[in-house]
Amino acid sequence: MAQPKRREDDSVRIGVVGTGIMGSNHARVLADLPHVTLVGIADPDNVQAKRITQALGCAAVESLTELLDLGVDAVSIAAPTHLHHQLALEAIDRGVHVLVEKPIASTVGQGREIVQAAERKGVTLMVGHVERFNPAVQSVKDALAGEEILSISITRVGPFPPRMSNVGVVIDLAVHDIDLIRYFTDSDISEVQPLLASARAENEDIALLQFRTKSGVLAQINTNWLTPFKARTVHVATRAKYVQADLITRQVSECFGFQPDGSYSMRHLSVGHAEPLRAELMAFVQAVKGGAGTGVTGDEGVASLEVAIQCLDRDSGAGLRHKVPPKVAAVS
């Protein structure tokens, strides 16, 4: 077994659970962060784990228990969603700080159990909604400071991801934007009106979601797995300006100074260049070391999951799930 790299005096010892796309990226970034010792990676697929750890110089183990036995201060859980509850509770029970990828758990009840366990143990719990750390998102947030927000429209579409099998677009994609709506408005969501359809996948692959926040903001999310290219856009109308952002190209602009004749001024806003995942993991490390938290809390993760599940609830009477005939499957 490979040995973890030498611990720095003030470093945080972290392990990663999961060797999929997200887990591999978490390990890559953590291995390069200052004041962090990447202790090991846990995954039943030991071949894949060893492949990654050979490049990063840390241990490869098959279970979280083995990873915890190596003596970690914190873990990043990037395993499949249905394992989040079990893994998070095991780590928390050992007094280990936890970053768990979105969604926090499979159910709201499980998510709340994780939050309560972390509170009892006094450990840091953060949910990996990485879009929060997109520099374009922060630029939009800054532009909205002090503004009266009227409406938000978010589009998040792309081709079907071959890796996906157990969830649809609401949990995989829209939950990002549910979190962003709550982040931009600093308000919970009080009304949900979903329209869902399945055109090619077993689960919903088209979702048109409408919301109203407790603060009165109207919001909508358009998401699907039928578009042949990725698009991630945000449009926010306020009383005094209109902000638009491309979250992929990280271009953000605002229109302002509206005149009776329809004219207005427009300017491009400054956007940073930080890698979102690196910024997120740095925030987690800072929180573990006792600094001010800037990430998504467990309660916030549960709140976004609860809204997403409301969108999926066929029996609520609020939404409509429809099977699109193959010949009329639409592409956004």
What's the average model confidence in pLDDT over 74-98? 97
Is the pLDDT assigned to residue 133 strictly greater than 50?
A: yes
Instruction: Yes or no: say if 225 and 156 are a contact pair by the CB < 8 Å rule.
Output: no
Instruction: Yes or no: say if 174 and 307 are a contact pair by the CB < 8 Å rule.
Output: no
Over residues 14-66, the pLDDT tens digits come to: 999 999 999 999 999 999 999 999 999 999 987 888 889 888 999 999 999 99
Over residues 247-261, the pLDDT tens digits come to: 999 999 999 999 999
* Matching fold, domains 12-123 and 132-275+306-326: no
Helix, strand, coil percent content, the chain, rounded in steps of 5: 35, 30, 35
Type of residue numbered 83: L
Q: What is the pLDDT at residue 165?
A: 62
- Write down the CATH number for the domain with range 132-275+306-326: 3.30.360.10
Cα 329 from Cα 230, distance rounded (Å) = 18
Q: What is the pLDDT at residue 162?
A: 77
Domain ranges of the chain: 12-123, 132-275+306-326
Cα 28 from Cα 292, distance rounded (Å) = 24
What's the average model confidence in pLDDT over 78-106? 97
Determine how many CB atoms are found less than 10 A away from the CB of residue 200.
13
In this structure, which CATH number among 3.20.20.70, 3.40.50.720, 3.40.190.10, 3.50.50.60 belongs to the domain 12-123? Answer: 3.40.50.720
